[in-house]
Amino acid sequence: MSEITVSDLQRLLQTIAKRMLAERDDLCQLDGVIGDADHGIAMELGFAAAAKAAGELDPSATDPTGVLNTAAKAFLNAVGASSGPLYATAFMRAAAAVKGKASLGDQEMLDIFAALAKGIQDRGKAEVGEKTMVDAWAPAADACAQAGAEGRPLAECYDAALAAAEKGRDATREMVASKGRSARLGDRSLGHIDPGAASATIVISCLSDFVRR
Ligand code: ADP
Ligand code: MG
C-alpha cells in the first residue's frame, strides 16, 4: 500500500474521535459497573482534543512524529482519568518510533503498533490478566508483530491484531481486576468486561480499517 502521510494521520484521529463519540455512552455504562462511569467521556474528550490539536497542524510544516506528539499532549491535557497518561504515553512512544520519517510505510506502521502497546504497559505497569486495557493491547501487539515477522501484508497484521484484541477484551469478563479503580471491587469485578479493554478494541478496529483503506 502507499505511504501514510501527516494528513492521513490527521484523518485517522478524527475517525477515532467520531467513533468514541458514538460509543461514549456504552463505555460509560461499562465503567459504571466496575468503575466510576467516566471512561466514555474520557475517551471522547481525549480523542476529540487530540484530533483537534493535530488537525490544526500545517501538514507541510510537520511530520508524523509532530502529529503524534501533539496528539499526546492534547490527550493528556484533556483527560484527568487514568486513561489520560496511558494514551498520552502510547502516542509519545509511537511518535518516537517513527522519528525522522516524512511518511510511514508498512514497517513504520508495525513499529507504531508495538510502540502504542508498549507505552501503555510501561506507563501503567499492568500485566495481561489484570483486567485492564493491556488485556486487549498486549495480545494485539503480539499478533501484529507475529504476522509482520511472517511477512504478511500490513492489513492482515492489523486484522490479526483486531482479532486478538477482541478475544482479549472478551476474556476480561472472567478476570478479577487487580489494577486501576476496579481493583478495589475484588471478586465483584468478575462477570463484566473491562471498559478500557473495550475502548482499546475500538481504537484498534479504527486502526485496522485505516490501514485497509
Ligand atoms: P479512571 O479509572 O481513572 O476513571 P478511566 O475510566 O478513563 O480512568 O479508565 C479506566 C480504564 O483504565 C480501566 O478500565 C482499565 O482498562 C484502564 N486502566 C486502569 N489502570 C490501568 C493500568 N495501571 N494499566 C493499564 N490500564 C489501566
Ligand atoms: Mg473511570
3-state secondary structure of 125: coil
* Domain coverage including residue 143: 6-212
Mean pLDDT of the chain: 97
* Residue 130 beta carbon below 6 angstroms from any ligand 1 atom: no
102-117 pLDDT, tens digit each = 999 999 999 999 999 9
* Residue 126 beta carbon below 6 angstroms from any ligand 1 atom: yes
Residue nearest to atom 13 of ligand 1 (CA): 196
Give the mean pLDDT of 83-95: 98
Atom of ligand 1 nearest to the CA of 43: 7
Whether 82 is in a domain gets the answer: yes
Nearest Cα to 86, choosing from 134, 130, 135, 37? 134
171-189 pLDDT, tens digit each = 999 999 999 999 999 999 9
What confidence category does residue 1 fall into, taking pLDDT thresholds of 50, 70 and 90? low
* Residue 44 beta carbon below 6 angstroms from any ligand 1 atom: no
Distance 107 CA to ligand 2 centre (A): 34
**Which residues touch 155 (CB under 8 Å, ≥6 apart)?**
1, 208, 211, 212
Residue nearest to atom 14 of ligand 1 (CA): 196
Mutate to test the pocket of ligand 1, among 76, 120, 181, 182 (most ligand atoms within 8 A of CB): 181
Whether 154 is in a domain gets the answer: yes
Where does residue 43 rank: exposed (0-12), middle (13-18), buried (19+ CB within 10 A)? Answer: buried
Integer Cα distance of 19 and 24 in angstroms: 8
* Residue 189 beta carbon below 6 angstroms from any ligand 1 atom: no
Distance 55 CA to ligand 1 centre (A): 27
Where does residue 176 rank: exposed (0-12), middle (13-18), buried (19+ CB within 10 A)? Answer: middle
Whether 1 is in a domain gets the answer: no
Give the mean pLDDT of 125-144: 98
Q: Which three cell numbers stand for residue 124?
A: 501503567
> Which one of the ligands is nearest to 182 CA?
1
* Residue 88 beta carbon below 6 angstroms from any ligand 1 atom: no
Task: Say if CB 132 and CB 180 are below 8 A apart.
Answer: yes
Integer Cα distance of 83 and 46 in angstroms: 9
Q: Which helix (H) or strand (E) holds 77?
A: helix 64-78
- pLDDT of residue 120 exceeding 80, the answer is yes
Tell me how many degrees the CA angle 60-206-103 measures, rounded to the nearest 5.
25
Residue nearest to atom 24 of ligand 1 (CA): 124
Domain harbouring 95, CATH code: 1.25.40.340
**Alpha carbon distances (Å) from 4 to 38, 177, 183:** 33, 37, 39
Whether 145 is in a domain gets the answer: yes
141-154 pLDDT, tens digit each = 999 999 999 999 99
What confidence category does residue 213 fall into, taking pLDDT thresholds of 50, 70 and 90? confident
Integer Cα distance of 202 and 163 in angstroms: 12
State the CB neighbour count (10 A cutoff) for residue 164. 23
* Residue 116 beta carbon below 6 angstroms from any ligand 1 atom: no
Whether 177 is in a domain gets the answer: yes
Tell me how many degrees the CA angle 149-151-156 measures, rounded to the nearest 5.
100
Looking at the structure of the chain, the number of domains it has is 1
Rounded to the nearest 5°, which phi and psi values hold at 56? -80, -10
Whether 11 is in a domain gets the answer: yes
Report the percent of the chain where pLDDT is more than 90. Answer: 98
